[in-house]
Structure 1
């Protein structure tokens, strides 16, 4: 059975193709249209399909649209209709209002029309709705290798729930308990991000800032609107006002809201720290409750909140579950994979084989001929290397910033060594260099290391093993005796958001780091996403545009090296 999975509700529009249970292609629309998150999260555009991502998925395995057996969409309109209630604290014609919900309902109805318009009536008739949180759960459970597992999904909102607890048993996924809007950890992060002068998508910035604050100072203020309960947590929307651009109740507690560009003060750091602390306690409380309800050895975690590396570490180390799996794309893009897998395993006669599917490299790749053609179009000089990994390692060891563009693009928000900017972790000045030359981001934000998997425990406290350590999803403590050797990837709290690089999963990237170790004695490199305030680069053209628009020293695309002239 061949299933096309689609997500285009809210944000992170994406597509995926599953063939007999195998994830053969998956990509986010933003990588093609170059619009962050794929599109705005409006009430009236759920029917704006990720057409370029769909076309890529089809072409990557030479499929024609009529070969698709089913189209799985990661949202259930009937479930939305069942649970929707008008939010008195909302803007007319927007989310939460009656008029806004009518716009949303029509855009959901138009998904079938969009499929028909772009791919024909026959494909539109193959549409299957999959509830948002079951799609998240499926994206984690079916590739995990577990035959049975507890499931915990935490995000902003699905149809109406923000949190789902359940379990997977072979093909079947079951819901045990849900927490519904307005009690949403994802929305809490969006609101506090905006209060701190960032966008609602800037949770990564606030996570980085939290380590600079003192979590206890504002605990009492936080308790005014965020409380832990026996069933999880509750939030006071009269203070938070998720669907209004208002901050007066929060300002009454914390003082004036920070505007974009204003200095970051101690109060802002302490708010971020209090938010992180509440999240840690709330999620651990949910984990404990889920274990009581379904005492498995295994836990699968997904949803946008599962991108919180600090919380993930605590769940892995302090949670009751022995084994933890988080997919490379736990955010909404991952529901394209999840919807397709759920549809396959619930509508075919196939039995779950409990085979782990770890490969995050499911996006486009490019031939040498196409790479050379783009280099020529840019008027640049490229040279073929007989050992590009070794050459890149030597350039990094000599203090250069290298764009590393190899093979198939990663699926998920992290650059995992195929669309990465690489630099030397040994010097504290590397951070400033990266920010000045290309990244242009806040100084308090940490950079991450990619470390050889078999050397990682010598440098970091890895703790309980997890396959998800390969996806840059945990903040692990750096061993004290090693910290001074890698200051560029050391956060203020002594941790690093590391990626374990497995030789079998990414041979070329492993070899680059291995070569860097032979030169320097350090088995890791600084790895950040190959972009500059834009989606991660997808094509050679994207990479060369970023190369020309920044001060990156060199770009290695396949085995072709382009260096900046002095």
Structure 2
């Protein structure tokens, strides 16, 4: 049985091909269109899939999509709004306004944050906006009226988006001859399916957390013997995803794209300064969560106008961890399950994943590598597979599921771009020597990664000894980041570098969780260790990516250090490179020292 999975069209549209429960290919439209977080029908990715595997519409049995039709989704939104209003009629939001009328004093301090100057620490607004933020955050009647107004607007806008993308989906499926094969699914069940069926755990507690999907913003399910049974739904607008989007936007970053910057900033200040204020948004009791005034985003903007970005970000990060862990912990105790699998946009937050893994009773964790809505294509396809045939959870060998290119194609691209390439007899050793020599080496090899992380095939490498690299290399690539680059570490040396990693090794293959670092790691790899002494590693196994492993192994032989820096091969606000021409362009624009493309090595003009 051959299933084409398509993720929601509203952002980072991704497709996959699943045959009898195995993922054959998965690729995001952004990699082909070169539009970051591409929204809309995946024309280019689908054409690539059909061409590569010589498929026609007749070869596809089903098309699986991770949302219901627009009218059903609207009905679910309205039911969620009615549920929320009934809940709020039984409680009070007065505590929030009281907290905001009595905000804690703050003494201005100096922050040393690479990439963020002191004058950019505050969100300075005109006096009239500050006045409105104050009123909307301290006057009960006004704050509640804003909540109601913007909830109504959200439903109208969300329904319009669903209707637009539904039309686009149906029209384009018709062009490909696939309309009659469409099967729609509950959004959060798709998240549950991609986490459970690729976990390798027969039994697991399944957790999903995101912004919105089919009336929910989160769920708890039990996976057992290849079946998924939901036991709780976190009804919208109780959305930890939107909670974190609010702070991302209020601190001047782009929601849905730059949440990782907040995770990085959060480590630079004390979360307890604003913790009680921000925690007042939530009530958590007996496995139920209530998020008060989620659509009054002026509350967050008020905080952002009065406190530095790290102070606000740190409080939101701690509250996210606190609420999600309390929610999950309740159901872990109820079920007694020791394995946890998670998916959804919220769990792109690698630090929160560490906290989930640290919940007492949890022994193993897995995060689906494409945890956001891009991974829903895989979830929908696997969910449909499970309904048609017996499907047991299995481990992914790797996620190199995108297109690959032949040596001839690479060589031709290099020639067309006027680049002179050598072909070293021992390329891994040569690259390792360059890294020891302080050179930046971009790597383009094999099939492209599925999901948001570069995992060695579309990667920029550097040694991990220089902590200043996070500023100067990001500047060179025209990026603004506040987290260190991630380390790629030889699997055999994982316990030498990271604490309490047992039970999370599989998740760490895909760079989806942080760990506290050992003294060895802190000393040997300061460029990969954050100010809170954590790192987000990719564990590299020889049997998974032999050529990448050999580079790190050769580097280890020369230095005694089993980790190198691995950052994605792309320029600022561009997708990770896909084709040889994309790689050459980014290599030139980034003024990188060397490009290792397949068996070829190219020296940059800067060397």
In the TM superposition, what are the counterparts of 1:292-311 in structure 2 within 5 Å?
Answer: 292-311=333-352
CA deviation after TM superposition for structure 1 residue 215, in Å: 0.9
Match of 1:203 among 259, 274, 277: 259
Correspondence 1:281-320 to 2 at 5 A: 281-320=322-361
Cα separation, 1, equivalents of 2:205 and 2:271: 30
The Cα offsets for residues 249-269 of structure 1, whole Å up to 9 and x where unpaired, read as 3344x2527xxxxxxxx6321
Q: Is the 8 A contact 2:10 2:165 kept in 1?
A: no
SS at match of 1:440: coil
Work out whether residues 438 and 552 of structure 1, in 8 Å CA contact, stay in contact via their aligned partners in 2.
Answer: no
Runs of 4+ with deviation above 6 angstroms: none
| 1:346 corresponds to | 387
> Matched residues in 2 for 1:147 and 1:91: separation?
40
Query: Cα offset for 1:104?
Result: 2.6
Question: Is 1:216 matched up with 2:272?
Answer: yes
Query: Are the structure 2 counterparts of residues 197 and 516 from structure 1 closer, same or farther at C-alpha, using a change threshold of 3 Å?
Result: same
Per-residue Cα deviation, 1:492-545 (whole angstroms, up to 9, x for no partner): 011111111111111111111000001111111001100111111111111111
Partner of 1:229: 285
> Residues 256-308 of structure 1, C-alpha deviation per residue, up to 9 Å, x if partnerless?
27xxxxxxxx6321111111111111111122122134322322110011111
Partner of 1:395: 434
Q: Check the 8 A contact 2:250/2:304 in 1, yes or no.
A: no
Map Cα deviations across residues 91-125 of structure 1 (whole Å, 9 max, x no partner).
98x6422x7624533542552232002x12xx210
Q: In 1, Cα distance between the equivalents of 2:160 and 2:463?
A: 53
In the alignment, is residue 168 of structure 1 matched against residue 223 of structure 2? yes
Contact map agreement 2:205 2:221 (CA 8 A) in 1 = yes
Distance 1:149 1:129 in 2: 25
The whole-number CA distance in structure 2 between the counterparts of 1:468 and 1:23 is 18
Deviation, structure 1 residue 150: 1.6
Does residue 84 (structure 1) correspond to residue 77 (structure 2)? The answer is yes
State the secondary structure of the residue aligned to 1:464. coil
For residues 460 and 289 of structure 1, the distance between their equivalents in structure 2, rounded to whole angstroms, comes to 28
Tell me which residue corresponds to 2:587: 547
**1:349-397: per-residue Cα shift (whole Å, max 9, x none)?**
x322443223111001100111111111211111222222211111111
Q: Is the 8 A contact 1:8 1:50 kept in 2?
A: no
Return the match for 1:438 from 477, 502, 511.
Answer: 477
Kindly indicate which of the two structures has a greater share of residues assigned to helix: 2
SS at match of 1:11: coil
Match of residue 559 from structure 1:
599
Name the counterpart of 1:112.
170
Give 3-state SS (helix, strand or coil) of 1:218's partner.
Answer: helix
Distance in structure 1 (CA, Å) of the matches to 2:457 and 2:478: 18
Kept in 2: contact 1:25–1:60 (CA 8 A): no
- Cα distance in 2 for partners of 1:382, 1:218 equals 55
Matches for 1:306-455 after TM superposition, within 5 Å:
306-347=347-388, 350-442=389-481, 444-455=482-493
Pick closer, same or farther for the CA change 1:474–1:124 going to 2, 3 Å.
Answer: same
Q: Is the 8 A contact 1:171 1:346 kept in 2?
A: no
| Secondary structure class of the residue paired with 2:305 | coil
CA distance in 1, matches of 2:597, 2:384: 37
Q: Deviations over 1:460-506 (max 9, x none)?
A: 21433221110111111111244122111111011111111111111
| Contact 1:7–1:14 (CA under 8 A) maintained in structure 2 | yes
In the alignment, what sits opposite 2:11?
11
1:133 corresponds to: 188
Change in 2 beyond 3 A, CA 1:84/1:377: same
Please state whether the residue corresponding to 2:155 is helix, strand or coil.
coil
Q: Secondary structure at the match of 1:408?
A: coil
| Partner SS, residue 461 of structure 2 | strand
User: What is the SS of the residue equivalent to 1:420?
Assistant: strand
User: Please, which of 41, 47, 53 is the counterpart of residue 49 of structure 1?
Assistant: 41
Q: Deviations over 1:199-221 (max 9, x none)?
A: 10211000000010101110222
The equivalent of 2:546 in structure 1 is 507
Change beyond 3 A, Cα 1:459–1:543: same
Instruction: For residue 427 of structure 1, give the secondary structure of its aligned residue in structure 2.
Output: coil
Q: 1:8 to 1:353 in 2, by over 3 A?
A: closer
TM-score, scaled to structure 1:
0.90
Whole-angstrom distance in 1 between the partners of 2:72 and 2:56:
32
CA contact (8 A) 2:494 2:501 kept: no
Determine the C-alpha separation between the residues in 2 that align with 1:361 and 1:521: 28
- From the superposition, tell whether residues 130 and 319 of structure 1 become closer, same or farther in structure 2 (CA, over 3 Å): farther
Q: C-alpha displacement at 1:440, in angstroms?
A: 2.9
SS at the partner of 1:484? helix
Question: CA contact under 8 A between 2:73 and 2:214: conserved in structure 1?
Answer: yes
Cα 1:331/1:319, change in 2 over 3 Å: farther
Aligned length: 535
SS at 2:45's partner residue? helix
Q: Distance in 2 between matches of 1:522 and 1:226?
A: 44
* Residue 180 of structure 1: how far off its partner (Å): 1.6
Root-mean-square deviation (Å)? 2.0
TM-score, normalising length from structure 2? 0.84
Distance in structure 1 (CA, Å) of the matches to 2:205 and 2:432:
42
Conserved in 2, the CA contact under 8 Å of 1:15 and 1:28?
A: yes
Aligned to 2:561: 522
